[in-house]
Amino acid sequence: MDASDYMHDVLDEYTGAVDCTILDAGSLQVDRCEFATVIRSILDGQVAELARDRNAICYRVCLFGRKRTSGTAIVKVPRPGPQRTNDDATFAWEAKMLLMLPAAGITDAPTLLARIGAAGSYFLFMTELTGKHPDPRKHPLGARQLCAILDRLYVMDRLGFMHYDLKTANILIDDDRVGFIDFEFARFENCCNTDLPTNTTFCEDFNVSDNPFYPARSNVVNFEFRALHRYLLELGTIHSAGAANALFRDWLRGKSAYHRRMADFFVERSEASIERAAFAGGIATNKSRGTLLAAATYERLLARLFKRPCDAVAKVERSLMAFRCAVFERKVAETKRLQRAILTEISHDAAHADALPDAYRLAMIRVLDMVGRSVHPSN
């Protein structure tokens, strides 16, 4: 049953006013009658569809606040059918994430207005973000926009927050401002304790960080294989391979600054662990401090490599993005081809005077192994 059929069935059962229940309220006050009116208009087919993905259909609507000030909002309605990749059609998790983000310091996201239960379904009301989805034809990315994206992803990564679905449809660019939408798969992950015994399994994932000393997943990596890889392929088709390569090198140079900031973050955490231990009357474990400092050292290495990326580094990084994407999309032959290409590149380079650093080469082998073990969700 498609969404239109589903809505008509609901409409047959519910006529007149819609009885709605506010399941999760946001910080902005909107009268329940406003929600009910909008829901009624959606059920009546009076609101044009804005977008849809496998799990939801989105609408742009107008809402009046308590002071009768109007503003646009986005409403998500579950999309039924076998194409779904998320069993939860209630939006409960996404509402929870949206409520948590402002306090965590993640501000480039919609504000929750309410999660509503009505007419046997669920409706997620959010504020609308400004901006356009990156598109090499209509809304191209440049070095400035890439740096803005990296700046916001750094905030998420240092908080241990994973979006998990950073495709272009979930990214909005407005000049050098960046916004993110669709937080239904987002999680705050406990990746801060480097001694956790479950870290090896946790790192067997498409999104595993390149840093071998920090058992984490990375939003930068997610953006690369979910959005940037495809964007560069399309850019190369529309314009030229040279244009795609030039933008990719802009990305690497932007990542240099990101990795410098991550290095400072690890040093700060190492110093903070000493202060916490002293305050508690104990001492910081040498293992924990040493791991954090090793992570900082590796981040500085990446910062140096990406500041002026040589051809070997650019080839490995570009192939690694494609490799992650191929594994994610279950393209077995392409996965094996790219894996061989990366191993050949780092092995071949080792015989030259400008050889890639051993630490980088070993880290790439680790990533290939971890990503190769990724278990794709069964749904």
End-of-domain residue from the set 127, 159, 179: 127
pLDDT tens readout for residues 22-58: 999 998 888 889 999 999 999 999 999 999 999 999 9
């082998």: which residue's tokens?
A: 365
My answer on whether 162 and 290 are in the same domain is: yes
**Which pLDDT value is given to residue 338?**
98
My answer on whether 162 and 43 are in the same domain is: no
> Has residue 207 got a pLDDT over 90?
yes
My answer on whether 118 and 157 are in the same domain is: no
- For residue 11, what are the CA distances in angstroms to 16, 18, 96, 124? 9, 10, 29, 19
Question: Please, what's the b/e burial string for 49-60 (b: 16 or more CB within 10 A of its CB; e: otherwise)?
Answer: eeeebebbbbbe
Residue 294 is which amino acid? Answer: A
**pTM across the whole model:** 0.89
Q: Which range (8-17, 203-212, 325-334, 353-362) has the least confidence? A: 8-17
My answer on whether 101 and 160 are in the same domain is: no
**Domain residue limits at 231:** 143-372
**Which pLDDT value is given to residue 147?**
98
- For residue 349, what are the CA distances in angstroms to 47, 210, 211, 353, 363? 58, 19, 21, 8, 15
Residue 379 pLDDT grade (very low, low, confident, very high; cuts 50, 70, 90): very low
> Has residue 9 got a pLDDT over 50?
no
Question: What does the block give as tokens for 131?
Answer: 């901006």
> What is the SS3 assignment for 63?
strand
> Has residue 6 got a pLDDT over 80?
no
**Which pLDDT value is given to residue 194?**
43
Q: What is the DSSP letter of 65?
A: B
What phi, psi does 243 have (nearest 5°)?
Answer: -65, -40
Average pLDDT, integer, range 108-127: 96
Residue 69 pLDDT grade (very low, low, confident, very high; cuts 50, 70, 90): low
My answer on whether 77 and 194 are in the same domain is: no
For every residue of 113-150, DSSP letters joined together read EEEEEETTEEEEEEEPPP-B--BTTTB---HHHHHHHH
Neighbours of 72 (CB within 10 A): 10
My answer on whether 79 and 150 are in the same domain is: no
My answer on whether 122 and 152 are in the same domain is: no
In a domain, 379, yes or no: no
Q: What is the largest CA-CA distance in the chain?
A: 78
In a domain, 120, yes or no: yes
My answer on whether 123 and 242 are in the same domain is: no
Average pLDDT, integer, range 94-98: 97
In a domain, 378, yes or no: no
In a domain, 138, yes or no: no
Instruction: Decide if 255 contacts 192 (C-beta within 8 A).
Output: no
C-alpha 26/C-alpha 66 separation (Å) is 13
Average pLDDT, integer, range 102-130: 96
The distance from CA 80 to its chain's CA centroid, rounded to whole angstroms, is 24
CB-side neighbour CA atoms (13 Å) of 73? 25
**Which pLDDT value is given to residue 378?**
46
pLDDT tens readout for residues 274-320: 655 544 444 445 557 888 999 999 999 999 999 999 999 999 999 99
């140079």: which residue's tokens?
A: 253
In a domain, 219, yes or no: yes
In a domain, 119, yes or no: yes
Residue 208 is which amino acid? Answer: V
> Has residue 369 got a pLDDT over 60?
yes
**Which pLDDT value is given to residue 281?**
47
My answer on whether 41 and 154 are in the same domain is: no
**Which pLDDT value is given to residue 64?**
76
My answer on whether 274 and 313 are in the same domain is: yes
**Which pLDDT value is given to residue 284?**
46
> Has residue 199 got a pLDDT over 80?
no
43 burial type by CB count under 10 A (0-12 exposed, 13-18 middle, 19+ buried):
buried
Average pLDDT, integer, range 87-94: 96
In a domain, 195, yes or no: yes
Q: Kindly report the average pLDDT of the chain as a whole number.
A: 88
> Has residue 70 got a pLDDT over 80?
no
> Has residue 156 got a pLDDT over 50?
yes
Question: What does the block give as tokens for 1?
Answer: 């049953």
> Has residue 2 got a pLDDT over 90?
no
Question: What does the block give as tokens for 174?
Answer: 């407005």
My answer on whether 212 and 294 are in the same domain is: yes
């650093």: which residue's tokens?
A: 357
Domain count, the chain: 2
